Structures are given as C-alpha cells and as structure tokens.
Structure 1
Amino acid sequence: MRLRNKPWAKDFMAEHPDMLIVNPEDKKGLWAKEFGNDAPIHIEVGTGKGQFVIGMALANPSVNYIGIEHFDNVIVSALEKAIESEKPANLRLLRFNGENLESVFAEEEIERVYLNFSDPWPKSRHEKRRLTHARFLKKYEGILKPGGEIHFKTDNRSLFEYSLISLTNYGMKLLSVSLDLHANMPEDNVLTEYEEKFSSKGQPIYRLEAQYQAK
C-alpha cells in the first residue's frame, strides 16, 4: 500500500506532545508517571489510523493504552482521531518502530500487547518480519509482566495458522481461538478499520489470545 505524503504531518505532531510522545526513549520505566497512575498499560504494535486503540481507551478508562505506528503519514491520522475524541487521558501515541520496543519500555512495564491486521509478509524469506515470529515474541516477553498476554486479530488465514504454531512452539498458552470472530461477536470487541472493511465483504476475522508461561 502506497502512503499518501502529508508534508504537514511532522509540524502537526509536534504541536501535540501531550498525546504524541516525541522522545519515547525518555519515558522508559516511567510510563506510569506519564499517565499519572498505576493502571495496567496495554500497547498496540502497528496501530494504523488509531480506531482500535482509541476505541479501547474510551471503553476502558481504568486501563492505559499506547498506540505505536512507524509511519508519520499514518500515525498523524490516529492523532487527528484522538483529538476529535477529546484526547483521552489514558491514551498516548508513539511514532516509533516496533522493532525497538525494549528501548522505550522497561522489563515488566506492560501487561498486554495487541497485534491487529499486521503485515503477513507471505514470502518465506521475510518470515522474521512477521510480528508473531519468535524474535518478536521474545521482545514482547521482555517488556511484559509475568503472565502477560498477546491478543491478535487478522483476516489472513495463513498468517493466523503460522501464528498459532509460532506462539505454541514458543511455549505460550492459547487462551482463546476464533476462526470467525464475527459469527459470535463479543460485546467488548472494538473493531479496527481493516476489520470493518474485510468483515463487510464477508471475510472471516481470525482472533486469538495467548499468555506467556513461567519458564
């Protein structure tokens, strides 16, 4: 997908440092202080235009949320939506590469990771780029509290099957697996932009919840 250039994005983001953290490395180990409370912190890696993470923040005020997106031209859309939603106090956005989570989060600082409609990277030579590959699972484990969870949604069956195997081989416990989430829609399900698009076309949505186990 080609991203539309938004030359105004950097300036706009700089105008809202209370919502989009400019230097997230400075917050490592200090996210509770940033939010001003000791509530659980959940992160979404690859937050896109922000519909999911903003919806979750509005629906769950007792949880703190951080949306992470690598591209200026995408995260700025999430920032616009957050502003339209009156900047939820329990939400922060990062324009940051998810490859480097350990540089912005301390050990056991996070309780849950959301992965929604991640790039499937279908070619075998790109396997290590998949966000459910073992090298990423190790990164998440390094910042999650004991018993931390990954919640994953996708429309891509091959990626879902790969992820089931990858998480299981890593030693994680599968808490929930759905091969058609919308056939029995949970009341607390917050849709992403892609989820709305694909489900409207009759595409099944796959979802899982997995938990790290003590080693």
Structure 2
Amino acid sequence: MRLRNKPWAKEMLAQYPQYVIPNPEEYKGKWSEVFGNTNPLHIEVGTGKGQFLVGMAKQNPHINYIGIELYESVIVSALERLIKEELPNLKLLNVNANELEKYFTKNDVARVYLNFSDPWPKTRHEKRRLTYKTFLRSYENILVDGGEIHFKTDNQGLFEYSLMSFSEYGLLLKFLSLDLHKSNFEGNVMTEYEEKFSQRGQRIYRCEVKYLNEK
C-alpha cells in the first residue's frame, strides 16, 4: 500500500488523547479503566482508516473496541471518523502489531479482527503475515480462553495460507465463506477495501476460528 504522507498527523493524534491512547502499556490488564466498564473488548489489528470499527462500535454499543494501526498518516483518518461519531466504546492505538503483548495481557481481549491484511506473498516474508504462527501465539496470549479470530480478505492465496496456519496451530473453524457477499451472512460491516473490491466483483473470503481451552 502506497501511503500519502500527512506531516500534520502526529500532532493531531497527540491532540486527542481521549481517542488515541498515549502510553497504552500503562493500561495492560486494566483496559476497563479506560472504557469505564467491564464489557468485552474486541481489537482490530491493522485498522486502516477505521470504517469497519466505527461501524462495529455503532452496531454494538455493549462491546468495547480498539483499533491498532502503525502508520500515523492512516490512523489519523480513523481519528477523524471517531471525532465525528463520538463513540465512547472505541479507542485507537498508534502502535506496532508485533508488540501486542506489550499492551495486553491474558484475558484482556475477547476477539481479534484481521481485515484485508497485507498478504506478503513472497515466501521470505511469511513471518510478516498476521496469520503466521508467531502472531497466532501472540493473539492466544492476550485472548480469553475460547477467544476468536475473525478474518476477511480478498486474497485467495492469503486465505488458503491462513486456513492452513489456523489448522496447524490447532484452532477450531467455526465459520467459512468463500464468497461472503453471496452468502446469507448477516450483520457484515464492510471496510474501505471491501467496498472497493466487492464493487469490482471480487470475492470476499471470511472465516471465524476459535482457540480451544485445552490448547
């Protein structure tokens, strides 16, 4: 993805600490203090411009959401959406997904969303894929027992790889769609990429997997 630099983004992110949490490592194990309640917490790794999580937060006010995005010039668009919507159950973290365990501990998170992640198609980049085994271990270490990953992509190769990775890790497949928009799945909230790809007639692949308590 080619990013358009927004030199003002860093300053704007700093102006809204109520939405973009500064020093998030201080809330590890204590995210209920940030939201002021003990509702379940769902996170999106690679939240992009925030369309998906804003939609989810509006649809599910009884669930807390955190969007995680590394690039300041991208997450600032999610911040702009959040400022307009003023959703109390949605926060943002401008951090690296490689360091999730720095900000969350076991039982902090009930669900992880992975939407249209970078496929990193070259074999030598396999370890960068968000469904690689080291990421799956990291998610397990912050999720509640029986926590879930919900995964969407337009990339067939990444989807096939991810299904194999989930299986090898021992995750239970709960839901699978090879063409989401032609299925009877209800309540789908689209990302920006999803809207663009579906308008072109491209298939959207989706699955839900669950960690087994005994693992």
* TM-score interval (norm. to shorter): over 0.9
The one-letter code of the counterpart of 1:134 is K
Is 1:42 the equivalent of 2:34? no
**TM superposition shift of 1:24:** 0.8
Q: Distance in 2 between matches of 1:2 and 1:131?
A: 19
Q: Given the alignment of the two structures, is residue 101 of structure 1 paired with residue 103 of structure 2, yes or no? A: no
- Per the alignment, residue 150 of structure 2 pairs with 151
State the match for 1:120 in structure 2: 119
User: Match of 2:72, as an amino acid?
Assistant: D
Q: Which residue type is aligned with residue 61 of structure 1?
A: P
> Which residue of structure 2 lines up, in the alignment, with residue 30 of structure 1?
30
Aligned residue identity for 1:12: M
Distance (Å, rounded) in 2 between the aligned partners of 1:68 and 1:33:
18
Residue 166 of structure 1 corresponds to 165
User: Are 2:80 and 1:65 aligned?
Assistant: no
Q: CA deviation at 1:187?
A: 2.6
Which whole-Å CA distance do the structure 2 matches of 1:77 and 1:144 have between them?
A: 27
Q: What TM-score, normalized to structure 1?
A: 0.98
Please report how far the alpha carbon of residue 106 of structure 1 lies from its aligned counterpart in structure 2 after TM superposition. 1.3
2:8 aligns with 8
Q: Partner amino acid for 1:119?
A: D
Q: Indicate yes or no: 2:169 matched with 1:178.
A: no
Instruction: Please tell me the residue identity of whatever aligns with 2:163.
Output: L
Query: C-alpha deviations, 1:44-70, integer Å up to 9, x for none?
Result: 000000000111001000000000000
Note if 1:74 corresponds to 2:102.
Answer: no
Q: Which amino acid in structure 1 is aligned with residue 137 of structure 2?
A: K
| Counterpart mapping for 1:84-99 below 5 A | 84-85=84-85, 87-99=86-98
SS at match of 2:141: helix
The size of the alignment, in residue pairs, is 214
TM-score of the two chains, using structure 2 as the length reference: 0.98
Q: Mind listing any 5+ residue stretches in structure 2 that lack a counterpart?
A: none
Unaligned runs of 5+ in 1: none
**Matches of 2:105 and 2:171, distance apart in 1:** 21
Q: Secondary structure at the match of 2:93?
A: strand
* Secondary structure of the structure 1 residue equivalent to 2:100: helix
Asked if 1 retains the 8 angstrom alpha-carbon contact of 2:177 and 2:183, the reply is no
- Point out 4+ residue stretches in structure 1 off by more than 6 angstroms: none
Residue 182 of structure 1 and its aligned partner are, at CA, apart by 0.1
Determine the structure 1 residue equivalent to 2:137. 138
CA RMSD of aligned residues (A): 0.7
Secondary structure of the residue aligned to 1:21 is: coil
CA 1:16–1:175: 2 relative to 1, 3 Å:
same
CA distance in 1, matches of 2:2, 2:183: 34
Give the 3-state SS of the residue equivalent to 2:65 in structure 1: strand
